[in-house]
Amino acid sequence: MRNVVKTDNTKTDKVITKKAAPDYEEIYQGRFDKHYDELKWLYMELYDNSSMFEELCDRLKLFYDQRGDALKRQDDAREAQPDWYKQNDMLGMMFYIDNFAGNMKGVEQHLDYIEKCNVNYIHLMPFLDTTEGKSDGGYAVSDFRKVQEKLGTMEDLEKLTAACHKKGINVCMDFVMNHTSEDHQWAKRARAGEKEYMDRYFFYDSFDIPSIYEQTVPQVFPTTAPGNFTWLPDAGRFVMTTFYPYQWDLNYRNPRVFNEMMYNFLYLANRGIDIIRIDAVPYIWKELRTSCRNLPQVHTIVRLMRMIGEIVCPGILLLGEVVMEPEKVVPYFGTVEKPECHMLYNVTTMATTWHTVATRDVRLLKKQLDIVSGLPKEYVFLNYLRCHDDIGWGLDYGTLWQYGMGERPHKEYLNNYFQGYAGNSNSRGELYNSDPVTGDARFCATTASMCGIEKAETEEDPEALQRAIRFDVMLHAYMFMQSGIPVLYSGDEIGQTNDYSYKDDPNKAADSRYIHRGKMDWKAAAAADDPSTVAGGVFQSLDQLEKIRKSEKAFVSYAATWTIETWDQSVLGIGRYYQGEKIIGLFNFSEHDKTAWINETDGLYEDMLTGKKREARGVDIPAYSFYYLKKV
Ligand code: GLC
């Protein structure tokens, strides 16, 4: 109850009004009652086990009771303003804690830098306990309730999240729920033959059943970790390992697994996490003779998680990691009445962006952006140019076929292009999991290296360097123009290039994703205010764009958006409109000066970067440049 009571103040003898503490019991009960029927229905549908359901309900209340008051207040405020994360002020940055600042305390000390970057959402890459050398960048968790010693403790995490909240910064973490590390307590006991724990994974005495799975289940890491099963000689059994052999798939058919993982999720949420990134979510339900991806039960589980979150900690957001084609991604939003994830990665747009870079042809990107614009405005996408993972070429090959581009040769072209071998490319980077059977390969590099900054620096070509910086900034400007939450990979704000030192580390050498997960270059960052340096050039330009984005309502995630025909194949036009405010973005993806043959007849526009007034007609755009034009 948020009513106001009157209390006697004996000292002053005056009657003052004071806000009563909220009635948490009542608040909880309200949330629980709201979801109870559906929660029970879905749980029983999956597990048909009432005692496990009752256990779950009891534990939800315990986690709620343990949730700190400050977090509960934040939950209430967010519940009262459910659109809080759909505004134009959100900007994310992701980083590995050790690469960014050594440890959690170090991150806390660098919060001023994060603020300087206009960032109010940090994604702390996996930091839970893991075994060095068998960690997959932390995505093989051996204890969900322990922080890696080198990074700090759970207490440090709580301090960090509290310090972030004071500054209005949201904290995101990965919840790696598809698998545990083989060094997790459960895995160790399963390996030793304890049935109770074996039942939490997929164990097989022979390859009979695994071989049936192998007929329909694709491979995630065909070169670095082929196959979906691993033979354990000491246990004399096979175990399912969709990712690396040391990442054992959890069996969500077992309600014990579901319940325990939900307890882990709530335990972590109670440490002050705002955004839970559900790692590899499409994979969590396995069924023989299927692809074991995106099965209906996955959606039941995500819906259950959403309700559990809304009951215990409604201030948190679920970010689903669904790196797949659009028709597989969108269902993870659920429906308006029965939502699943709050946010999803705009992965196809990201991949299509780089295709556009390599072809200077915006047609496919325009089509992709039109698809996204046509989706309900409730959907919030996380937009990015690149993340900690490789870039997979998940493009609309049906459409590309009509443009005369076949899938296999085009993928080959893209990979050659970004390695710097084809198509007048300035990019530098490396292939990832190049599969000789399917001819598929993905690509790894930092944004700056893909834009030509690395090449220009090595070749000491100042003109090329300026062009590369301009290109890098243009791509960010275009990314900021999309609806949703833009997320930078730490280092991209200062144009950091590839880091090849991973090759010297035997634990990393086989995984080229480390090329774009280098240490933060604080020396370069120190020059962020000096536009004559690469770091400063990129930083200052992004700073200007980020401030524009934060101050203009037309950037809210629910604004109307559309693409504009520019009659030049290399120039992309995007419009945004919200409550009388209209903005047009024009982006030249080519190394040649171009003209956007647009003809907006509704009056004068202002160049938002220079403040100059002009008409939005036949706009000349220098190579790799852009315009943000606002209707005056
Ligand atoms: C996700 C992560 C990736 C990791 C995989 C396995 O796809 O983004 O880095 O390798 O899950 O957990």
Mind listing the pLDDT tens digit for each residue in 254-266? 999 999 999 999 9
pLDDT tier at 18, thresholds 50, 70, 90:
low
Mean pLDDT of 159-164: 98
User: Cβ atoms within 10 A of the Cβ of 440, count?
Assistant: 19
Longest dimension (CA), the chain: 85
Mean pLDDT of 212-231: 94
Ligand 1 atom closest to the Cα of residue 323 is 7
321 is catalytic: yes
Task: Select the more confidently predicted residue: 11 or 175.
Answer: 175
Mind listing the pLDDT tens digit for each residue in 275-319? 999 999 999 999 999 999 999 999 999 999 999 999 999 999 999
Q: How far does Cα 43 stand from its chain's mean position?
A: 28
Q: Which of 96, 69, 89, 281 lies closest to 170 in space, CA to CA?
A: 89
Q: Which of 136, 156, 279, 499 is catalytic?
A: 279
Mind listing the pLDDT tens digit for each residue in 37-72? 999 999 999 999 999 999 999 999 999 999 999 999
Ligand 1 atom closest to the Cα of residue 243 is 6
Token pair for 103:
């440890």
Mind listing the pLDDT tens digit for each residue in 429-467? 999 988 888 778 999 999 999 999 999 999 999 999 999
**Residue burial 148-161, b: 16+ Cβ < 10 Å; e: rest:** beebbeeebbbbbb
Mean pLDDT of 474-482: 98
Q: Where are the domains of the chain?
A: 185-249, 555-631
Mean pLDDT of 140-162: 98
Ligand 1, CB within 6 Å, residue ranges: 136-137, 139, 176, 243, 279-280, 321, 388-389
555-631 homologous superfamily:
Golgi alpha-mannosidase II (2.60.40.1180)
State the Cα–Cα distance between residues 585 and 574, nearest whole angstrom. 5
- pLDDT greater than 90 at residue 17: no
In degrees, rounded to 5, the angle at the alpha carbon of residue 257 between the alpha carbons of residues 253 and 262 is 120
Q: Which of 368, 378, 388, 282 lies closest to 326 in space, CA to CA?
A: 368
pLDDT of residue 3: 42
69 is catalytic: no
Mean pLDDT of 617-625: 98
Mean pLDDT of 538-566: 97
State the Cα–Cα distance between residues 597 and 316, nearest whole angstrom. 44
pLDDT tier at 556, thresholds 50, 70, 90:
very high
Find all residues with CB under 8 Å of 509, minimum gap 6, and list them. Answer: 502, 503
- Most informative mutation of 124, 135, 139, 175 for ligand 1 (most atoms within 8 A of CB): 139
CA of 407 to the centre of ligand 1 (A): 25
pLDDT tier at 347, thresholds 50, 70, 90:
very high
pLDDT of residue 16: 53
- pLDDT greater than 90 at residue 7: no
Proportion of the chain above pLDDT 90, given as a percent: 93
Amino acid at 479: M
- pLDDT greater than 60 at residue 15: no
pLDDT tier at 529, thresholds 50, 70, 90:
very high
Q: Tell me which fold the domain 185-249 belongs to.
A: Oligo-1,6-glucosidase; domain 2 (3.90.400)
CA of 280 to the centre of ligand 1 (A): 6
- pLDDT greater than 90 at residue 14: no
CA of 258 to the centre of ligand 1 (A): 20
- Span between the terminal Cα atoms of the chain, in Å: 47
pLDDT of residue 344: 98
Phi, psi of 400 (to 5 degrees): -60, -35
Q: Which of 180, 178, 174 lies closest to 131 in space, CA to CA?
A: 180
User: Cβ atoms within 10 A of the Cβ of 34, count?
Assistant: 13
pLDDT of residue 325: 86
pLDDT of residue 4: 41
CA of 192 to the centre of ligand 1 (A): 27
In a 3-state reduction of DSSP, which class is residue 284? coil
Q: Which of 321, 430, 440, 546 is catalytic?
A: 321
Shared fold status for 185-249 and 555-631:
no
> With 0-12 CB in 10 A as exposed, 13-18 as middle and 19+ as buried, what is 389?
middle
Where do runs of H (alpha helix) occur along 88-207? 97-101, 104-109, 111-116, 154-166, 185-191, 195-198
Q: Which residue has its alpha carbon closest to ligand 1 atom 6?
A: 139
Proportion of the chain above pLDDT 70, given as a percent: 97
- pLDDT greater than 50 at residue 406: yes
pLDDT, the chain, mean: 95
For CA atoms 106, 111, 117, 123, the dihedral sign is: positive
CA of 402 to the centre of ligand 1 (A): 33
Token pair for 465:
């360097």
pLDDT of residue 326: 86
State the Cα–Cα distance between residues 567 and 563, nearest whole angstrom. 12
pLDDT of residue 19: 66
pLDDT of residue 478: 98
